[in-house]
Structure 1
């Protein structure tokens, strides 16, 4: 007997389906922050074991970010041609095997190589996740869903360092990588059994898989270029923080691993709250106002960081970071959705280029700035103030036009 589908039941089914998609996408995007945040408390121990400067231990993060962004140039077109699901599964396998390689590394060079490979695996899961969100929810709603995803991602910085502190203290820093390998096994099983393909039938697949014209069709769009640059620079702020904080707080200020984790968790909690609140603000006030507010907050945070740098206490370093996290979450939530909005038929390629900007671009900028050997407070101030030109552009008619254009190609 056929049971008619009422509007209420259809809405309920759609709601359940949406929740399932978001849950699976959360699993996919967690691979990247987990690979960064879980072993932050172990950075000093890693540098000590391999007898290398702290900057080389920090390179295990920036190299991961670089390869994660670069790999998306390939993962995006592959996701558009072969589908999101096979790319996600392949990425998980590469991620897990690289974690095993990192666990057995006997030299910093081998560890850096493992992290490069792991970045390629994480990029595939990230591209699949964000392309699937764009596939499933469209341009406008997809932007809000991305902000919810970022909120879920922020749970990892809150919890992973706590777990990493425990693992490092009781089992050594290598146990962090064995945990990543275990997470990959669980994630692979979940995605294999529950993740259905979302690639739309009209996805562009003709021609060469990797071709300049494919990327140029996205890069020449000023709406993408402007918002992707904002995502890159805001990501640079967070990357500068997560690489500088362990060295500054534990090595220079003498905080214990648990004390460092405490401050890190507070900041992550702020990030979580803002990422979940930002979509509601975007609905009520519009993405432009949220973006303007985020950029303004980051500019103020930079001034506060610079003004308090003479106070050698943890709270003086972290209070500007707390404020910057509000700005970062606001910028990323509103800018990422706008960057992807014009590309319904090539969401994989657009998501890949956005990832390249956010990960590789941020990694190159932060890695270069760290070589200047600036004090942590001054480095973070500069990273926050790099976003001021974006704020000024957004106040012009041209910037407002770039932000308002969401016509799907």
Structure 2
């Protein structure tokens, strides 16, 4: 789990470490805040699309091989971003970096499925997400220090160093967990592999839940620097403080969610998560006129609880029906979760530019999921994991 945690650190590190520097980047490149925010959405979009290729390759070539390839691409693209002289150069580097991060993510979650099986993978993913949440707590602090001591480019040199360190650890410590991998095959990207996953209704529903939950967090991450630093006048250090508090909430929620699942089952945990997000949306709208950081962050704390309750359960249920196609299933799940969320937030930012309203809309988008969870099909999908109180 320690090694897998290193693998899943790549994505949140590439997003959270330079968040305090987003306004500075926008000024240096002389572009709008929306274009600076696109460095995050481009990264996530590439991360999702790339998993369509990384997933089948992880099934065919092995998790370890794909992980090492992804680390190499990630490190090189971080160096390209470090040397970017225009926003176009930066966006291209971030697209490439997203492709590298997707490979490490697919390898990690497919390995979880290999080791822990269909029954335990959901809980392990929740614990893994809890570990991931240390990055939003610590990375902005580090990024703020690097930006103030050097400049915003130092954040990307740190990413390159992290890739080099993790690459050495993975090379010597990670064993292959997929016993069925084989050499390259012409049919590695055969459409039937994707269709076998996409034609499973429970996968589509739970992957959509992951997408909606990730969109809430992405809307917060991209909007927080504007809402807190630009609109409310918080300093970089004050922004990092509030961001860190929310990360702690997310960490605690991610470690509590598996306990909730053990006691009351996956269906109850998902219903709870959707309801918390809905209440958070209403609170965000009610407090939208109060120009205080707590008015913005209190609903965000609720969104973190809802996100943690949904993501682990939904991801685990998405991958549950698949064995030898776990890599492909993890890839399509990543497409929903990353590219889907990135496109959804990018579109909504153009329609609803106000940060509080944008985040509230994304929270409410998951509300219709309750209709499915209380339907006969929804009850059946979660029947085997329901426990009596």
CA distance in 2 between counterparts of 1:369 and 1:85 reads 37
User: Which SS does the other structure have where 1:388 is aligned?
Assistant: coil
The answer to whether residue 158 in structure 2 is matched with residue 161 in structure 1 is no
User: Which SS does the other structure have where 1:201 is aligned?
Assistant: coil
| Structure 2 partner of 1:122 | 101
| Structure 2 partner of 1:100 | 79
| Structure 2 partner of 1:383 | 362
CA distance in 1 between counterparts of 2:331 and 2:352 reads 31
| Structure 1 partner of 2:42 | 63
- CA deviation vs aligned residue, 1:197-230 (integer Å, no higher than 9, x gap): 0013289997611122110100000110100000
The answer to whether residue 299 in structure 2 is matched with residue 330 in structure 1 is no
Distance 1:182 1:366, change over 3 A: same
Task: Give the superposition deviation at 1:404.
Answer: 3.8
Structure of higher CA gyration radius: 1
Task: Give the superposition deviation at 1:317.
Answer: 0.4
For the 8 Å contact 2:214–2:307, the answer to whether it is kept is yes
For the 8 Å contact 1:135–1:200, the answer to whether it is kept is no
CA distance in 2 between counterparts of 1:260 and 1:242 reads 12
CA distance in 2 between counterparts of 1:399 and 1:389 reads 13
The answer to whether residue 195 in structure 2 is matched with residue 195 in structure 1 is no
For the 8 Å contact 1:222–1:402, the answer to whether it is kept is no
| Structure 1 partner of 2:161 | 182
| Structure 1 partner of 2:121 | 142
373-382 or 128-137, larger mean C-alpha shift: 373-382
CA distance in 1 between counterparts of 2:201 and 2:174 reads 33
| Structure 2 partner of 1:318 | 297
CA distance in 2 between counterparts of 1:332 and 1:182 reads 29
* TM-score, structure 1 as length reference: 0.92
Instruction: Decide which of 320, 332, 353 is 1:374's aligned counterpart.
Output: 353
Q: CA RMSD in A?
A: 1.4
User: Which SS does the other structure have where 2:234 is aligned?
Assistant: coil
For the 8 Å contact 1:43–1:57, the answer to whether it is kept is yes
The answer to whether residue 379 in structure 2 is matched with residue 392 in structure 1 is no
| Structure 2 partner of 1:13 | none
Q: What is the 5 A alignment of 1:50-89?
A: 50-89=29-68
CA distance in 1 between counterparts of 2:197 and 2:184 reads 15
The answer to whether residue 225 in structure 2 is matched with residue 225 in structure 1 is no
CA distance in 2 between counterparts of 1:206 and 1:292 reads 42
For the 8 Å contact 1:150–1:275, the answer to whether it is kept is yes
User: Which SS does the other structure have where 2:351 is aligned?
Assistant: coil
Gaps of 5+ in 1: 1-21
Distance 1:65 1:202, change over 3 A: closer
Task: Give the superposition deviation at 1:400.
Answer: 1.7
For the 8 Å contact 1:80–1:205, the answer to whether it is kept is no
User: Which SS does the other structure have where 2:121 is aligned?
Assistant: helix
CA distance in 1 between counterparts of 2:141 and 2:281 reads 28
| Structure 2 partner of 1:212 | 191
Aligned residue pairs total 385
Instruction: Decide which of 264, 277, 281 is 1:298's aligned counterpart.
Output: 277
Task: Give the superposition deviation at 1:269.
Answer: 0.2
CA distance in 2 between counterparts of 1:229 and 1:317 reads 26
CA distance in 1 between counterparts of 2:5 and 2:105 reads 10
Gaps of 5+ in 2: none
